[in-house]
């Protein structure tokens, strides 16, 4: 029983990082109604960023975090102009395929560079002991960092001018344009922000678990489940949703073989979507 | 004349806002009933309730003797109810002919593809789109798109036609032409429920008027009666958005 | 009357070419190449019913191919049914399952539907990997006796080839028939604007489930024939997500929503892929190339090749659909 509890608490910690990842996804959706299918690939790139930092450059692991935020943002803005800009106002089919094809390109490049072998970045920290259980130090630090970044995002969205502009464009792009807000630049900024969040979450996940080029898919699924749980377009909800998912995973892991977990999450995802009444999450073109 | 459409004590809320409250009125077969009221009075909500986009929270909506409240839009369309929208929704990548054929084939008569195309030609004649049948819907002018919206709804040979501000954005000549078309539609036996802000048009077209304000029925009667009703005048004068014609 | 339109002639011509060319050249290599092309054309044409007509992106479309393959091979191997019956049964079972499943999953729109279809593919792959009667992770190996009723392995390969060409031709015919039917009109309306279509009376849930199910039938039959010919079926090869995605690229390349588009896209893509795979540097970049191609198409030429032709030569719209 205590074992399950420990697993759950651990799940909550990891869940905070899932929430961070999902925040990127939900932000992009909320602001520009684009489902970013490169999300998984970005997470993977974030993971490799950590590897690059620690194993190639020999720098301390957590120093990669600010780097990831900045690099991720720049990468995101570039990605916006390459793939997203032209399809923003087109039918959903097009933005879906655009981000999906970008995902294929990124994963393809990643596979060519790193093949599909597993990578691991050993990060050792003293853990917290409780009864017979040790909570891994990395899990705790990752959770703390995730929440801190979430806090920074909140400050940005609600206490700065650019944040206000983002919220305006998210609410009604045409009205924002009429108010003199340079919506295209705001969109590219918001996209960059969303990618930065995904990227840094990848870096954090890499401090916790080994990974391959193909790991992104599983985390993308988790992000989708979280976004649905938390409410599309709602970053705070994403954090809570992430913690919830982490909780569920923590409760399930002692009882289920690991390879089944992504499947269960997919099923959860589909059921959660179907359970919501028609209209709240509809993507109608009108 | 019997009632083709009857709303009884219909209510619909969105969150804290009562869009429509305890609304009852009937549309008699063969008549043109005008629905007017200041902005936000709930007129579009009424249309959405009738054609199945929303389900009423309370009350009943009876069409041709059967309860339709809560039915899905395509089920309602099958019963012979069609709508021309305020914000036109052409099937952009399809031709004018195909747009209307969709209306014809999936409406009350459930026509085959060939029969549907035939039916469309008649309607196109009436509305004045005969020359444009092969054009892509996206290439029409605004007026053309409005006519397409109407033609498409009419192609379904509905018993009841909901016209949602079909005159908005048209110049006086076009408005005059559209009014004639609407009269011809009624002559063919179609019952019409019309929302309009162009006052002279709706007053001259309608047999009777229902006035809504804040989701409730304010007045009902012949156009002249309603126009003289002090409460109606107050409701409109209090609304800066109203421009009298 | 139907022969007055150019379309049926094009299909007949293509079929004739597929049948006669390898026979005339006596080339097994050509046959194998055309067999692959026939499979791709089948997959792309049927996928187009979802993407091009109804506007729903079925990322996991390969699941029909794989499941059809498993049912057919299983029936032939374990129950000793003959090939035709097994393939047809596989088609029917898979499309029935698709219909039931479609009623649920098609309530999702846009990206969520697309992602859910990937989930379906992965979930079924996982399930089959653990399903002992179907060989689990190793899959099913067909014994040589399975080819006896067809006159031995060599002859069987030719027979299966012709059957696959027939399936390909049927796919094209089906695309054409549906597009010119009332069902097709309703689907195209759904693809343009689903809410407007519903208000016009199109019974959207039923139609979507029907097209999902129909788009499953021929790929399932093709899968049955293909894996019978291969002699072996295992989860990775049967539910290959890469092929699933390539099918999407083929549809978009040729022009979604048209009839010839997916077929042309399939041929072009197969050519391209075949050439690239022989160049060592490019073979690693298969997914990258496909992705870039798709990106370019979506950004600059969303109508694909057919869209391009139609736009610059409007008269072609009538006869070259």
Interface test mutation site (partner A, options C190, C288, C289, max chain A beta carbons within 10 A): C288
- Are B166 and B71 found together in one domain? yes
Question: Could you give the number of structural domains in chain A?
Answer: 1
CATH code, domain carrying C32: 1.10.3470
**Are B146 and B190 within one domain?**
no
User: How many Å lie between the alpha carbon of B233 and the closest alpha carbon of chain C?
Assistant: 35
Q: Given an 8 Å threshold on Cβ–Cβ distance, is C110 in contact with A278?
A: no
Q: With the C-alpha atoms ordered C171, C175, C176, C177, is the resulting torsion angle positive or negative? A: positive
A30: nearest Cα among A149, A168, A154: A168
- Using a CB–CB cutoff of 8 Å, tell me whether B116 touches chain C: yes
Is C256 within 8 Å of C304 (Cβ atoms)?
yes
A98–C105: do the CB atoms touch at under 8 Å? Answer: no
Instruction: Tell me the residue length of chain C.
Output: 321
- Cβ contacts (< 8 Å) between C201 and chain B: which residues? 73-74, 77-78, 103, 106-107, 156
C229: enclosing H helix or E strand? helix C204-230
Same domain, B52 and B163: yes
Whole-angstrom distance, CA of residue B91 vs CA of residue C188: 9
- Residue B52 with chain C: CB contacts under 8 Å: 199
B170 with B230, same domain: the answer is yes
What lies within 8 Å, CB to CB, of C96 at 6+ separation is C213
Residues in C closer than 8 angstroms to B148, CB to CB, are none
Q: Report the complex ipTM.
A: 0.89
Task: Look at residues C140, C192, C154, C129 and name the one whose alpha carbon lies nearest to residue B92.
Answer: C192
Residues spanned by the domain of A173: 2-275
Q: pLDDT tens digits, chain A, 286 residues: what are they?
A: 667 788 888 888 899 999 999 999 989 988 888 888 899 999 999 999 999 888 888 888 888 899 999 999 999 999 999 888 988 878 777 888 898 899 889 988 888 888 878 888 887 777 777 777 777 888 888 999 999 999 999 999 999 999 999 988 888 888 888 888 898 999 999 999 999 999 999 999 999 888 998 888 888 888 888 887 777 777 888 888 888 888 888 888 878 777 777 777 777 777 777 775 332 333 322 2
Contact C202 B91 (CB under 8 A): no
Are B222 and B111 contained in the same domain?
no
Whether A286 maps to a domain, the answer reads no
Does the model's pTM come out above 0.90? no
Give residue A281's pLDDT: 32
- Could you tell me which of A254, A263, A250 has the C-alpha nearest to residue A217? A263
Please check whether residue A240 lies inside any domain of the structure: yes
Shared domain for B183 and B239, answered yes or no, is yes
> In which element (H, E) is residue B35 found?
strand B32-36
In this structure, of A105-114, A242-251, C3-12, C171-180, the range with the lowest mean pLDDT score is C3-12
For helices C110-129 and A261-275, what crossing angle results, to 10°? Answer: 140
* pLDDT of C26 above 90: no
- Chains in touch with A (3+ beta-carbon pairs under 8 Å) read C
Whether the predicted pLDDT of C1 surpasses 60: no
Cβ within 8 Å, pair A267-C119: yes
Residues 6+ apart with CB under 8 A from A147: A16, A239
pLDDT digits (tens, 9 = 90+) for C198-257: 999 999 999 999 999 999 999 999 999 999 999 999 998 999 888 898 999 999 999 998
CB B78 to CB C195 under 8 A? no
Q: Is residue A24 part of a domain?
A: yes
* Interface contact A269-C115, CB threshold 8 A: yes
Say yes or no: B114 and B191 in one domain.
Answer: no
pLDDT of B238: 63
- pLDDT at site B40: 80
Hey, are the CB atoms on A278 and C245 less than 8 Å from each other?
no
B179 and B237 fall within a common domain: yes
How far apart are the C-alpha atoms of B18 and B63, rounded to whole Å?
Answer: 23
Rg (CA), chain A: 19
Tell me which residue range forms the domain holding C106.
2-319
My answer on whether B165 and B75 are in the same domain is yes
DSSP class of residue C277 equals H
DSSP chain A: -HHHHHHHHHHHHHHHHHHHHHHHHHHHHHHH----TTHHHHHHHHHHHHHIIIIIT---GGGHHHHHHHHHHHHHHHHIIIIIGGGTTS-HHHHHHHHHHHHHHHHHHHHHHHTT--B--------EEETTEEE-HHHHHHHHHHHHHHHHHHHHHHHSHHHHHHHHHHH-HHHHHHTT--HHHHHHHHHHHHHHHHHHHHHHHHHHS-B-GGGHHHHHHHHHHHHHHH-TT-HHHHHHHHHHHHHHHHHHGGGS-GGGHHHHHHHHHHHHHHHSPTTTS-----
pLDDT in tens, C29-85: 889 989 999 999 999 999 999 999 998 999 999 999 999 999 999 999 989 899 999
Chain A partners of C241 at a C-beta cutoff of 8 Å? none
- Whichever domain contains A214, its CATH number is 1.10.3470
DSSP at C54: I
- The string of pLDDT tens digits covering residues C105-162 is 888 877 778 878 887 888 888 889 888 899 888 999 998 888 888 888 888 999 999 9
CATH of the domain at B229: 3.40.50.300
Q: What sign for the dihedral angle of Cα C18, C24, C30, C31?
A: positive
Do B3 and B35 share a domain, yes or no? yes
Q: What is the pLDDT of residues B67-78, one digit of tens each?
A: 999 899 999 999
Domains contained in chain B, number: 2
**From the candidates B50, B74, B79, which should be mutated to test the interface with C, based on the most C CB atoms within 10 A?**
B74
Domain that holds residue B147: 89-158
Bridge partner list, B194: B34, B163
Q: Which of A77, A94, A78 is nearest to A33 (CA)?
A: A94
From B41, B93, B49, B44, select the one nearest B73 (Cα to Cα): B49
State whether B72 and B174 are in the same domain.
yes
Tell me if C114 sits within 8 A of C57, measured CB to CB: yes
Separation between Cα atoms, residue A156 and residue A166, nearest integer Å: 10
Note the helical H segments in C279-303.
280-283, 286-300
Specify the pLDDT at position A282.
Answer: 31
Q: Report the domain count for chain C.
A: 1
Pairwise CB contact (< 8 Å): A101 & C291: yes
The per-residue pLDDT for C7 is 79
Distance CA B207, CA B197 (A): 16
Q: Is the model's pLDDT at B245 over the cut of 50?
A: no
- Which helix (H) or strand (E) segment holds residue B217: the answer is strand B216-221
Q: Searching chain A, which residue's CA lies closest to the CA of residue C283?
A: A112
Q: Flag if B105 and C186 touch (Cβ within 8 Å).
A: yes
Q: With contact defined as beta carbons under 8 Å apart, do C245 and C59 qualify?
A: yes
The CA distance from A159 to the nearest CA of chain C, in Å, is 32
Residue at A223 is within a domain = yes
């Amino acid at each position: 029983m205590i074992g399950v509890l420990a697993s759950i608490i651990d799940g909550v910690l990891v869940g905070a990082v899932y929430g961070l990842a999902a925040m990127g996804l939900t932000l992009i959706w909320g602001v520009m109604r684009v489902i970013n299918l490169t999300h998984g690939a970005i997470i993977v790139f974030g993971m490799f960023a950590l590897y690059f930092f620690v194993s190639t450059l020999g720098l301390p692991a957590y120093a990669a975090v600010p780097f990831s935020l900045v690099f991720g943002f720049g990468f995101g803005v570039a990605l916006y102009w390459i793939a997203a800009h032209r399809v923003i106002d087109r039918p959903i089919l097009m933005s879906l395929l655009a981000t999906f094809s970008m995902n294929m390109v990124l994963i393809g490049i990643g596979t060519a560079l790193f093949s599909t072998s597993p990578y691991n970045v050993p990060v050792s920290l003293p853990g917290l002991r409780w009864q017979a259980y040790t909570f891994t130090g990395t899990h705790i630090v990752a959770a703390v960092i995730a929440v801190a970044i979430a806090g920074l995002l909140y400050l940005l969205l609600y206490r700065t001018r650019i944040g206000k502009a983002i919220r305006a464009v998210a609410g009604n792009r045409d009205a924002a344009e009429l108010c003199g807000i340079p919506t295209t630049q705001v969109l590219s900024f918001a996209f960059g922000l969303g990618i930065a969040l995904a990227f840094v979450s990848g870096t954090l996940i890499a401090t916790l678990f080994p990974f391959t080029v193909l790991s992104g898919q599983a985390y993308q699924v988790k992000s989708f489940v979280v976004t649905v749980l938390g409410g599309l377009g709602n970053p705070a909800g994403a954090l809570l949703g992430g913690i919830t998912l982490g909780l569920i995973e923590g409760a399930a892991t002692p009882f289920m073989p690991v390879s089944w977990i992504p499947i269960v999450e997919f099923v959860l995802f589909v059921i959660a979507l179907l359970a919501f009444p028609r209209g709240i999450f509809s993507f109608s073109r009108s | 004349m019997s009632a083709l459409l009857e709303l009884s004590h219909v209510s619909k809320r969105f969150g804290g806002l009562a869009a429509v409250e305890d609304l009852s009125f009937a549309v008699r077969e063969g008549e043109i009933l005008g629905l007017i009221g200041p902005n936000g009075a709930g007129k579009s909500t009424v249309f959405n309730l009738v054609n199945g986009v929303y389900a009423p929270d309370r009350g009943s909506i009876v069409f041709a003797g059967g309860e339709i409240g809560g039915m899905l839009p395509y089920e309602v369309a099958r019963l012979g109810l069609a709508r021309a929208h305020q914000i036109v929704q052409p099937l952009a990548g399809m031709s004018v002919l195909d747009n209307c054929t969709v209306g014809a084939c999936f409406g009350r008569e459930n026509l085959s593809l060939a029969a549907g195309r035939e039916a469309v030609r008649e309607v196109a004649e009436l509305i004045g789109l005969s020359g444009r049948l092969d054009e892509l819907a996206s290439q029409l002018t605004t007026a053309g798109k409005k006519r397409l919206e109407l033609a498409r709804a009419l192609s379904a040979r509905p018993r009841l036609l909901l016209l949602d501000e079909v005159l908005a954005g048209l110049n006086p000549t076009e408005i005059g032409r559209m009014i004639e078309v609407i009269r011809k539609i009624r002559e063919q036996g179609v019952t019409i429920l019309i929302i309009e802000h162009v006052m002279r048009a709706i007053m001259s077209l309608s047999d009777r008027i229902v006035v809504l304000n804040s989701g409730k029925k304010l007045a009902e009667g012949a156009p002249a009666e309603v126009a003289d009703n002090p409460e109606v005048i107050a409701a409109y004068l209090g609304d800066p958005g109203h421009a009298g014609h | 009357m139907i022969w007055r339109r150019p379309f049926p002639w094009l299909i007949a011509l293509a079929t004739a070419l597929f049948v006669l060319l390898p026979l005339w050249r006596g080339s097994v290599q050509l046959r194998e190449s055309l067999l692959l092309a026939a499979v791709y054309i089948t997959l792309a044409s049927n996928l187009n019913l979802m993407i091009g007509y109804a506007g729903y992106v079925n990322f996991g479309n390969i699941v029909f191919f794989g499941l059809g393959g498993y049912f057919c091979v299983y029936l032939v191997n374990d129950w000793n049914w003959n090939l035709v019956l097994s393939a047809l049964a596989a088609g029917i079972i898979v499309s029935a399952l698709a219909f039931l499943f479609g009623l649920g999953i098609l309530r999702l729109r846009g990206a969520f539907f697309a992602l859910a279809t990937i989930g379906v593919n992965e979930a079924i792959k996982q399930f089959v990997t653990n399903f002992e009667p179907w060989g689990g992770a190793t899959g099913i190996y067909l014994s040589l006796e399975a080819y006896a009723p067809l006159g031995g392995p060599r002859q069987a390969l030719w027979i299966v080839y012709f059957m696959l060409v027939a399936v390909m031709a049927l796919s094209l015919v089906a695309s054409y028939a549906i597009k010119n039917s009332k069902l097709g009109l309703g689907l195209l309306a759904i693809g343009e604007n689903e809410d407007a279509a519903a208000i016009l009376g199109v019974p959207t849930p039923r139609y979507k489930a029907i097209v999902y199910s129909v788009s499953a039938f021929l790929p399932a039959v093709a899968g049955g024939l293909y894996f019978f010919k291969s002699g072996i079926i295992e989860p990775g090869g049967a539910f290959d997500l890469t092929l699933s995605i390539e099918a999407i690229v083929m549809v978009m390349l040729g022009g979604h929503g048209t009839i010839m588009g997916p077929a042309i896209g399939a041929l072009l893509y197969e050519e391209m892929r075949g050439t690239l795979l022989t160049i060592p540097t490019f073979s690693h970049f298969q997914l990258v190339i496909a992705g870039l191609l798709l990106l370019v198409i979506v950004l600059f030429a969303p109508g694909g090749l057919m869209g391009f032709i139609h736009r610059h030569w409007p008269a072609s719209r009538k006869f070259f659909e």
